[in-house]
């Protein structure tokens, strides 16, 4: 089915969005900060060699009911082109049948603890302040719960590839990936294939050095193809499908601090009832560089 209008969002989400809008009034800027970009999609930036950053991420998705989760993400620049990541979830509010998909490409699926490496294998500089580069993301994850939607969850492997352009004013990245779940107690979650795209803009008023404000605005898109799941060795009917989501996000930087957030809404879905495709994806991220 095609979504012709935005879904209704509950009061909790409305309050969180209002708080986020208030946070936008805080002046922010960056110096020596890397490895961060859009909220939901693949991107190429990596931390500099020896740099370490930590994110606290509040995230929510709704599929019938709202799920809320906190993630703690550690990032370390092994070299200027290799970044190592650890993402640990803490569930605040569970739902019986969470959506199958990567809620953010750098942090794994719902309820998965993930370890990953981002490898920037190509870069060139066509002009001053401009770069064109490509990166490879490889990760492995283990579930933090025994079952998800009534299906035993096994470890998974994931790989993604992204390429794009960045300058002081404009940003654009396109990429895709694939996640495979192993069999667990004769059950198996469906594989996830996806593509992402993002464009960004940094207005001239924010193109100044610290302590002046620094904000970037993004429009992000995610399309996922989710395979059918198995239970007791048999395919489960009416599982799997295709979904596309689109929405805005922002990234603000100030000294060693960063604040980002965004929301995606579904614009297309082939998921059949009673699965119920997601109503939204919502992420807020507070970052600190050591």
Domains of the chain are: 11-289 (2.40.160.40)
Q: Do the bridges between strand 280-289 and strand 52-63 make them parallel or antiparallel, or are there none, so unpaired? A: antiparallel
What's this model's pTM, rounded to 2 decimal places?
0.82
Give the C-alpha separation, 285 to 264, whole Å: 15
**Which of 10-14, 33-37, 88-92, 142-146 is least confident?**
10-14
Kindly state the helix (H) or strand (E) to which residue 249 belongs, with its residue range: strand 241-254
Most confident region among 62-76, 170-184, 232-246 by mean pLDDT: 170-184
- In DSSP terms, 287 is beta-bridged to 55, 258
Neighbours of 39 (CB within 10 A): 30
- DSSP code, position 205: G
Q: Are 195 and 42 in contact (CB under 8 A)?
A: no
pLDDT digits 0-9 by tens, 41-92: 999 989 999 999 999 999 888 777 788 889 999 999 999 999 999 999 988 8
pLDDT digits 0-9 by tens, 152-164: 999 999 999 999 9
């Amino acid at each position: 089915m095609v979504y012709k209008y935005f879904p209704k969002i509950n009061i909790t989400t409305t309050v969180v969005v209002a708080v986020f809008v208030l946070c936008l009034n805080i002046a922010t800027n960056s110096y020596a900060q890397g490895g961060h970009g859009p909220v939901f999609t693949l991107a190429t930036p990596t931390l500099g060699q020896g740099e370490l950053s930590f994110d606290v991420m509040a995230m929510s998705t709704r599929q019938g009911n709202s799920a809320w989760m906190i993630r703690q993400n550690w990032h370390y620049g092994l070299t200027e082109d290799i970044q190592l990541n650890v993402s640990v979830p803490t569930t605040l509010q569970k739902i019986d049948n969470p959506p199958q998909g990567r809620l953010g490409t750098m942090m794994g699926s719902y309820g998965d603890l993930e370890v990953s490496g981002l490898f920037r294998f190509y870069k060139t500089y066509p002009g001053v302040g401009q770069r064109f580069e490509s990166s490879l993301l490889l990760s492995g994850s283990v579930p933090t719960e025994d079952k998800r939607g009534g299906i035993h969850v096994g470890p998974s492997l994931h790989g993604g590839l992204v390429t794009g352009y960045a300058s002081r004013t404009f940003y654009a990245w396109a990429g895709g990936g694939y996640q495979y779940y192993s069999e667990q107690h004769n059950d198996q979650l469906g594989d996830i294939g996806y593509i992402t795209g993002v464009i960004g803009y940094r207005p001239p008023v924010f193109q100044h050095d610290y302590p002046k404000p620094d904000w970037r605005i993004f429009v992000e898109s995610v399309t996922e193809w989710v395979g059918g799941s198995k239970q007791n060795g048999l395919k489960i009917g009416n599982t799997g499908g295709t979904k596309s989501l689109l929405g805005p996000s922002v990234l603000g930087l100030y000294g060693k601090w960063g604040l980002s957030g965004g929301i995606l809404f579904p614009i297309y879905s082939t998921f059949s009832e009673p699965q119920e495709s997601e109503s939204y994806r919502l992420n807020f991220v507070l970052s600190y560089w050591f």
